[in-house]
Chains A and B, each alone.
Chain A
Amino acid sequence: EAGVTQFPSHSVIEKGQTVTLRCDPISGHDNLYWYRRVMGKEIKFLLHFVKESKQDESGMPNNRFLAERTGGTYSTLKVQPAELEDSGVYFCASSQDLRLAGFYNEQFFGPGTRLTVL
């Protein structure tokens, strides 16, 4: 079974440019999460989709970040315009319906996208 995949693995852009990160969750997983680790900090939650709906976007830092999950399959995270402080590693994770998982939330993480804003 394929795991969570993320594309690209690395992205280097200049301040002010736009970048779009993609995440493909494990097939059948309704829950999709975005996290990020910026330089020297802890991994922080950004938002949570249940299918195509945003369940919780309390971690999104500002309106330069836009996440979508059309059709409830893959998700994209767009940063526009990118700033220097956006540099870091962006992780995507997915998990199955909690009812199927026995009400515990094992999240499967992708390898991350390393974003560098110059």
Chain B
Amino acid sequence: DAKTTQPPSMDCAEGRAANLPCNHSTISGNEYVYWYRQIHSQGPQYIIHGLKNNETNEMASLIITEDRKSSTLILPHATLRDTAVYYCIAQSATRQLTFGSGTQLTVLP
């Protein structure tokens, strides 16, 4: 699995967009970029994934650079309930998830 690098923490004002960056410079062609989050003491929750193209769902948008070496998760209108640790994971579909230390996102009122 490719190693990912994320900032340890970020703050975001409530109602504003939260942009969470992730570097995965060693990602290989068959590896997807997954984003999960863990809200305090709950199990991790899937957010979104992508391979090459940008993706959007009801929770977030995922922007992947053309060279696939980095990506950004965008929460368009952050709420207090989005405060969580966000994990960026790069791996092939058949593998287990390899969690790093993630980014602690704090949404401020």
Q: What residues make up the interface of A, taking CB atoms closer than 8 Å to B?
A: 4, 33, 35, 42-45, 48, 56, 59, 89, 91, 93, 98, 103-112
Residues of B within 8 A of A59 (CB): 96
- Identify the closest chain A residue to B97 (Cβ): A107
Query: Which positions in B face A, CB cutoff 8 Å?
Result: 32, 34, 38, 41-46, 49, 93-101
**Minimal beta-carbon separation of B40 from chain A (angstroms):** 12
User: Given A45-B96, A93-B43, 18 other A-B contacts at CB below 8 A?
Assistant: A35-B97, A35-B99, A42-B99, A42-B100, A43-B38, A89-B41, A91-B43, A98-B93, A98-B94, A103-B93, A104-B49, A105-B32, A105-B95, A105-B97, A106-B46, A107-B97, A109-B45, A112-B42
Interface pairs (26), CB distance under 8 Å: A33-B96, A33-B97, A42-B100, A43-B44, A43-B97, A44-B99, A48-B96, A91-B43, A91-B44, A93-B97, A98-B94, A104-B32, A104-B93, A105-B34, A105-B94, A105-B95, A106-B46, A107-B46, A107-B97, A108-B46, A109-B44, A109-B45, A110-B43, A111-B42, A111-B43, A112-B41
- Asked if residues A106 and B49 are in contact (CB atoms below 8 Å), the reply is yes
Output the least CB separation between A110 and chain B (Å). Answer: 5
With both beta carbons as reference points, the residue of chain A lying nearest to B48 in the complex is identified as A106
Q: How far is the CB of B6 from chain A (nearest CB, A)?
A: 12
Which residues does chain B contribute within 8 Å of A105, judged by CB atoms? 32, 34, 93-95, 97
Q: Which residues of B contact A42 (CB under 8 A)?
A: 99-101
Query: CA–CA, A41 to B46, complex, Å?
Result: 20
Closest Cβ–Cβ distance, residue B4 to chain A (whole Å): 12
A73 vs chain B, min Cβ distance (A): 19
User: Which of A45, A89, A110 contacts B97, CB < 8 Å?
Assistant: A45
Closest to B99 in A: A43
Q: When the two chains form their complex, are residues A56 and B43 in contact, meaning their CB atoms are under 8 A apart?
A: no
